[in-house]
Amino acid sequence: MAEPTSCHDEHVGTVPQGMPVVALVGSPNSGKSTLFNALTGVGRAVGNYPGTSVEVGSGRWADPSFGQVALTDLPGAYSLAPMSPDEALTAELLAGDGHLDAVVIVCDAVHLGRSLVLAAHVRMLAVRCVVALTMTDVAARRGIAIDDQVLSERLGAPVVRLDPRRRDVSGLARAVAGALVEPPMHPLALPTGVPTGCTAACPPGCAACPPTTAAALTASLTDDDLAVAEAVFAWVSATVDAATRRTHEARRTWTDRVDRWVTAPVVGPSIFLAVMWAVFVLTTTVAAPLQDGLDALFTGPITEAAGAILTAIGLGDGLLAGFVVDGLIAGVGMLLTFVPLMAIMFVLLALLEDSGYMARAAVVTDRLMGRLGLPGRAFLPLIVGFGCNVPAITAVRVLPDARHRLLTSLLVPFTSCSARLTVYVLVAAAFFPESAGTVVFALYVSSIVLVVLGGLLLRSTLIRSLGHEPLVLDLPPYQRPSVRLLGAATWTRLRGFLATASGIIVATVAVVWALGVIPAPGSGAGLGDVPAGESLYAWLARGLSALFIPAGFAEWHAVGALIVGFVAKEAVISSWAQTYPAGTDLPDALVADLGASSGGHPQAAAIAFLVFLLAYTPCVATLATQRRQIGGRWTAVGVAMQLAMAWLLAVLVFQVGTALP
Amino acid sequence: MSSRSPLLEVLAAVAAGAASTAEVSRRTGLDPDRAEAALSALAAAGRIRRVLVLAGACPTQGCRSCGQSRGCASAGAGSLAGSGLSAWRVVAR
């Protein structure tokens, strides 16, 4: 099998000669990717399949029953009719072009009928199949009993029930091992409308068999008179009737009862706001002592040890010592004190996602956007933006309408990514120590308001005509989050935070440090011997400070942080740690400086600063992605809009804040 | 339910503006799972189109430019990426 190449991970490699290739296929939310993770561990490699923009997961599955196989996680598909590039690739690979040795069809027991449409299509091909039945526990609670034997007979393939969330996959391994030593299966002969004629004596791939190539499959599925579709549906319906029975009358599930409230028009948004408020209050409260401990570690023992080592090797007073101690340890170290905070927030968000609540939150907010005349479907990419704006902008490609894609790409930067959270927490804790969590929560609510305002502004000016397309809700049931998956999701995101801190932030720290040791024009100080306030960095920041006088934070530390924050928001924190003298209490220094720049209104200036930080351009990576998605001209329009809205709102907030008694 | 085939009933319900699987189910008398199966069968036949709003958010290019974007690859852990919000449209024929 030709192997995927990856822009993401070097683990996607070639399959060794002789190693069987097994693919997982299933509909979205069937538990396919969860199963893939359970089989391969969390070391999932993701990459584009060669010659396509379709992403596939790849990994190795080891088990005593077959040794090791290369496992491919094909994109989620509802059928093999190539209605999307994902489904086209899945059909092409399964139809024999991808040299797969076996296929595991993941069927969701709760939605057996829906899963069986895809299963029927796969079984129309001459491939070795094993059916993995997931969500059987949820089905049992809903009174759905499935007879595995009958289902296996109807499908003509072994059926293994499993709960991948609990790592129960041994039966599947045995079934796959058994399938791998058998010849490819005869295609399923559907009752009517499909070419049939296969018999037990018929060799695989014979002319009378149903289609065995992607093209033939597509031609047979896409029929004008619905004959094949009717045949598939009739087979699915008959299979569900034969293989399932009701153990008790279907009653309203727990999910249904909860959804009645959490997706309700008024109560739903209220619950969403309450949940998010709890997340931020909990995050800031629990993380505070941990942050203090890490801060003491970096400013104490680590700084002292680094100084001692540099002194011991004769570099204690040079530029290198300044870079290491005042640059790297102060800047990157300050950022690293936020690791506990980010970890706690990522755990809580993963909890909400894995339980199924986040999808409901998307529905609730989608309804609000729809009422405002904004494209409701755009909200899901926007939700991704609360983690990171870069994948959110990439995600808009799934929107079918070009104007929706443009509008959403321009709105994503207003969603408050997790990098901004570090600054919110630091500033909120410094200026509002008793209610830092509430301030952070208010900023996230402001982010949603900004998205709505920005959308309305664009709809009334540059993007006037937008089509309307209704949504169909297909929400997964609530489930108890798995500790292992929570850990994996949290670590993946935390690793991203650490990668940023060790990459672009180190580079930014180096630039800020270099500008900090170069004297400003006319200062008269020497290189490396200049007070921070007389450095080139401070001189450049002061050059822009006049713009922020009406916003109350025309102070060079604050303005300089916003400039480097254009590169990445994590750099805001590191720049402060670098430019305030060693030993300075950062929160106290910020309060004092903004108090001076605002004429005695430090809290109003702090809120204005945070609002500006929320609304202006997130980072250069976002701009690069935006440029690829909507072009340079619209990206420039977006930057202008962000800066204008950020400045206007900051000024408004400060002026109103200072006018209040 | 009329004497039309189940798939034609579902097709008519979608064309008439049924906005959710539950609504298709109510209008056609099919149970929700079978209504979903019917919609998938119709989509496979090219008679309606299912458009996933968000099938995955991982960028295909430039992923190394932002460490946070690596989090998007955590399939299975984030149900949001496959939450399945989708739109059905009747395909013009």
Q: What's the ipTM?
A: 0.70
Q: What are the tens digits of pLDDT across the range A274-291?
A: 888 888 788 878 887 888
pLDDT band of residue A306 (cuts 50, 70, 90) is: confident
| Most confident listed range (A7-16, A208-217, A379-388, A594-603) | A594-603
Asked if A29's CB is within 8 angstroms of B82's CB, the reply is: yes
What number is the average pLDDT over the span A302-311? 86
A219 belongs to a structural domain: yes
Helix (H, G, I), strand (E, B) or coil at A5: strand
Task: Find, among A174, A54, A193, A29, the residue nearest to A120 by Cα.
Answer: A193
Residue type, A344: I
For residue A204, is pLDDT > 50?
yes
Chain centre distance of CA A97: 32
Q: What pLDDT shows up at residue A236?
A: 94
Rg (CA), chain B: 17
Residue A341 host element (H or E): helix A339-355
Q: What is the pLDDT of residue A58?
A: 82
Other Cβ atoms within 10 Å of B5 Cβ, number: 15
List, in order, residues 6 or more apart from A225 with CB less than 8 Å away: none
Higher-confidence residue: A8 or A71? A71
A 464-493: CB under 8 A from B: 469-476, 485-486, 488-489, 492-493
Neighboring chain B residues of A81 at a CB cutoff of 8 Å:
43-46
For residue A117 the two structure tokens come to 């449409």
User: What is the pLDDT averaged over residues A430-441?
Assistant: 91
- Could you give the C-alpha distances from A294 to A290, A322, A334, A340, A499, in angstroms and in order? 6, 21, 9, 9, 19
Average pLDDT over residues A187-195: 59
The pLDDT assigned to A376 comes to 59
Contact B76, A353 (CB under 8 A): no
Amino acid present at A90: T
pLDDT at B52: 47
Mean pLDDT, residues A451-474 taken together: 71
Q: Alpha-carbon dihedral of residues A339, A386, A49, A214, nearest 10 degrees?
A: 140
Arithmetic mean of pLDDT over chain B: 60
Would the pLDDT of A233 be above 50? yes
List phi, psi (to 5°) of B50: -105, 120
Given a cut of 90, is residue A115 above it in pLDDT? yes
B24, B50, B58, B69, best to mutate vs chain A, most A CBs in 10 Å: B69
Nearest to A391 among B46, B51, B57 (CB): B57
Cα A192 from Cα A142, distance rounded (Å): 33
Own/partner pairs, A446-451, CB within 8 angstroms, 24+ separation = A446/A611, A446/A614, A447/A386, A447/A414, A447/A415, A447/A416, A447/A614, A448/A365, A450/A414, A450/A614, A450/A615, A450/A645, A450/A649, A451/A382, A451/A411, A451/A414, A451/A415
pLDDT above 90 (res A432): yes
Q: Lowest mean pLDDT: which of A503-507, A657-661, B15-19?
A: B15-19
Among A269-273, B25-29, B85-89, where is mean pLDDT lowest? B85-89
Tokens of A539: 């001189």
pLDDT above 90: residue A113: yes
Q: Which of A347-351, A499-503, B6-10 is predicted with the least confidence, judged by mean pLDDT?
A: A499-503
Residue B20: closest CA among chain A residues belongs to which residue?
A472
Mutate to test the interface with B, among A233, A346, A619 (most CBs of B within 10 A): A233
What residues pair up with A146 in beta bridges, in sequence order? A244
- Which stretches of A244-266 are DSSP H helices? 254-262
Residue B39: per-residue pLDDT: 87
What's residue A109's pLDDT? 93
Given an 8 Å threshold on Cβ–Cβ distance, is B76 in contact with A485? yes
- Is the predicted pLDDT of residue A557 greater than 90, yes or no? yes
Residue that wins the pLDDT comparison between A349 and A447: A447
Distance from CA of B38 to the nearest CA of A (A): 6
State what percent of residues in chain A have pLDDT above 90: 28
Structure tokens at A318: 């040079």
Residue of A nearest to B4 (CA): A230
Query: Comparing A228 with A210, which gets the higher pLDDT?
Result: A228
Cβ pair A497:B67 closer than 8 A: yes
Q: Which of A91-105, A291-305, A336-350 has the lowest mean pLDDT?
A: A91-105
Pick from A115-119, A131-135, A204-208: least confident = A204-208
Please tell me which residue of chain A has the smallest CA distance to B32. A111
* Helix (DSSP H) and strand (DSSP E) numbers for chain A: 28, 9
For residue A189, pLDDT beyond 60: yes
Question: What is the average pLDDT across A397-410?
Answer: 77
What pLDDT band is residue A10 in, cutting at 50, 70 and 90? very low
A259 and chain B in contact, CB less than 8 A: no
Question: Average pLDDT, whole number, for chain A?
Answer: 81
For residue A15, being part of any structural domain is answered with yes
Task: Dig out the tokens for A284 from the structure.
Answer: 């800031």
* Residue closest to A417 by CA, chosen among A349, A515, A332, A330: A349
What local confidence, expressed as pLDDT, does residue A205 receive? Answer: 53
Contact call for A628 and B62, based on CB within 8 A = yes
More confident residue, A212 or A617: A617
Quick one: average pLDDT of B70-80? 34
In a domain, A302, yes or no: no
Task: Report which residue type is found at B37.
Answer: A
Do residues A98 and A104 lie in contact, with contact meaning Cβ atoms separated by under 8 Å? no
Q: Residue range A479-500: average pLDDT?
A: 80
Sequence ranges of the domains in chain B: 6-90
Q: Is the pLDDT of residue A4 over 70?
A: no
Q: What is residue A646's predicted lDDT score, i.e. its pLDDT? A: 96
Report residue B71's pLDDT band, with 50, 70 and 90 as the boundaries: very low
- Distance, CA of A228 to CA of A87 (rounded, Å): 18
Q: For chain A, what's the residue count?
A: 661
pLDDT for res A52: 54
Mean pLDDT of A76-100: 74
Q: How far apart are CA A337 and CA A426, in angstroms?
A: 11
Task: Say whether residue A230 is in contact with chain B using an 8 A CB cutoff.
Answer: yes
> In this structure, what are the phi and psi dihedrals at residue A63, rounded to the nearest 5 degrees?
-155, 145
Above 70 in pLDDT, residue A39?
yes
CB under 8 Å to A301, separation ≥6 — which residues? none
Average of pLDDT values for A145-168? 86
In this structure, the strands spanning A102-108 and A21-26 are parallel
Pick the residue with more confidence: A559 or A280?
Answer: A559
* B89 bridge partner residues: B49
pLDDT of A320 strictly over 90: no
Which residue in A148, A144, A153, A154 sits closest to A245, CA to CA? A144
The alpha-carbon gap from A307 to the nearest alpha carbon of chain B, in Å, equals: 30
Please enumerate in sequence order all residues whose Cβ is within 8 A of that of A63, keeping only pairs 6 or more positions apart, or say none: A170, A173, A177
For B51-61, the pLDDT digits (tens) are 544 333 333 33
Question: Nearest CA of chain A to the CA of B1: how many Å?
Answer: 16
Residue A231 is assigned to a structural domain of this protein: yes
Residue A152's domain spans which residues? Answer: 6-246
As a whole number, mean pLDDT of residues A179-208 equals 64
pLDDT over threshold 90, residue A603? yes
Compare A283 and A410 and report the one with higher pLDDT. Answer: A410
pLDDT attached to residue A197 = 46
Q: Is the pLDDT of residue A5 over 50?
A: no
Task: For residues A146-173, give the mean pLDDT.
Answer: 86
The more confident residue out of A326 and B83 is: A326
Chain B positions touching A388 (Cβ under 8 A) are 66, 68-69, 71-72
- pLDDT (0 to 100) of residue A371: 66
Nearest CA distance, A129 vs chain B (angstrom)? 21
Task: Read off the pLDDT of each residue in A133-162 and give the average, rounded to a whole number.
Answer: 91
- pLDDT at position A235 over 70: yes
Q: Which pLDDT score is estimated for A591?
A: 95
pLDDT at A183: 83
- Which pairs from A347-351 meet CB under 8 Å and 24+ separation? A347/A486, A347/A490, A348/A279, A348/A282, A348/A283, A349/A279, A349/A387, A350/A481, A350/A485, A350/A486, A350/A489, A350/A490, A350/A493, A350/B77, A350/B78, A351/A481, A351/A486
For residues A168-176, give the mean pLDDT: 89
Q: What is the mean pLDDT of residues A620-634?
A: 87
The residue length of chain B stands at 93
- Which CATH number fits the domain that encloses residue A166? 3.40.50.300
* Percentage above 70 pLDDT, chain A: 82
Q: Which of B7, B43, B65 sits opposite A624 (nearest CB)?
A: B65
Among A159, A61, A620, A82, residue whose Cα is nearest residue B44 = A82
pLDDT at B65 over 50: no
- Which is more confident, A244 or A228? A244
For residues B48 and B67, the model is more confident at: B48
pLDDT level of residue A15 (50, 70, 90 thresholds): low
Confidence check: pLDDT of A166 > 60: yes
Nearest 5°: phi and psi at A144? -105, 115
Question: Per-residue pLDDT for B77 more than 60?
Answer: no
pLDDT surpasses 80 at A525:
no
B74 vs A contacts (CB less than 8 Å): 488-489, 492-493
φ, ψ at A487 (rounded to 5°): -60, -45
H or E stretch at A77: none
- The tens digit of pLDDT for each residue in A250-267 reads 666 677 788 878 877 789
A117 lies within 8 A of chain B by CB = yes
pLDDT: which is higher, B3 or B31: B31
Distance CA A590, CA A273 (A): 30
Radius of gyration of chain A (CA): 29
Q: For residue A582, what pLDDT is reported?
A: 76
pLDDT of residue A91: 78
Is a pLDDT exceeding 80 seen at residue A114? yes
The answer to whether position A637 is within a domain reads no
Provide the domain count of chain A.
Answer: 1
Give B61 to chain A, closest Cα distance, Å: 7
Instruction: Enumerate the β-bridge partners of residue A33.
Output: none
Beta strands across the sheet bearing A21-26: A45-48, A55-63, A67-73, A21-26, A102-108, A129-134, A159-161
Average pLDDT over residues A14-36: 83
